[in-house]
Amino acid sequence: MKYVYLDTESTHLDSEVGHLWEVALIVRDLDFSDGGDLEFWWQVRPDLTAADPKSLQISRYYDRSQVAHLPIGHGVDLSCGADREILSKGAVREREILSEGAVRENVTAEEIALQLAQQLDGATIVANNPRHDWDFLRSFLRAHGQAFTASHRMDDIRALLKGYVYGRLAAAGGDVDDAFLPAQAEYVRRWLSGDSDVLAWEIVGVTQEPETKHTALGDARCVRDVHDGITRGILH
């Protein structure tokens, strides 16, 4: 079984109007458990004609984009902190030679789409609001001559976290203090009381650094870490 933890950044919330401009994947193939996680990170110059300014501001497009100066459809393959060479399925060689976020090479949207299609093939997507990512990925792949062949059954990390919390509460007879450690219990109480409308990643011991939020790689890593916190001892 192959999991792909991913995140996309786009120029608009509506995939009929906006375009994908950044995507990161973390690929974990359980059939090749000794291969570790493979990380991929790309940016591609979008058409900004119909872009939503708020979407660009949230993802800090003009602060973070390394493709703003390129023609539309041209992109970059970014380093995730290690240079990688995929030798064959399930095998990878990594060399620590590039800093995170450095440009590994210039690529076209067609080249990004091909790599995306290959890595997503047959995978179960895990994401925060996966339908949003699904819409933009499918649109991007179709626009560049590739097919979207990931499983239609996607895992929403917030729904998984909600099930995790309810499951632990049920096992503890509804007692928050019996179900969770003190640091975790406080976040659960805030959610149950309505003081917070979302469950905090800290419930499973994950804290995302502010500067990595709304970056494709940072959010994909957060999703992976939360998934690991929920499934600890089950999938490993």
Q: How many domains does the chain have?
A: 2
Asked whether residue 236 is domain-assigned, the answer is no
- Give backbone dihedrals phi and psi of 10, rounded to 5 degrees, phi first: -135, 170
Q: What is the pLDDT of residue 235?
A: 45
172 and 71 within one domain: no
Convert the pLDDT of each residue in 131-181 to its tens digit: 999 999 999 999 999 999 999 999 999 999 999 999 999 999 999 999 999
Helices (H), the chain: 53-58, 61-64, 109-120, 130-143, 157-171, 176-179, 182-193, 216-231
Q: How far apart are CA 89 and CA 177, in angstroms?
A: 45
50 and 91 within one domain: yes
Asked whether residue 109 is domain-assigned, the answer is yes
Token duo for residue 217: 């790689």
136 and 26 within one domain: yes
**For helices 216-231 and 157-171, what crossing angle results, to 10°?**
20
pTM of the model: 0.91
Convert the pLDDT of each residue in 182-218 to its tens digit: 999 999 999 999 999 999 999 999 999 999 999 999 9
Q: How far apart are CA 168 and CA 161, in angstroms?
A: 11
Residue 88: domain span: 2-153
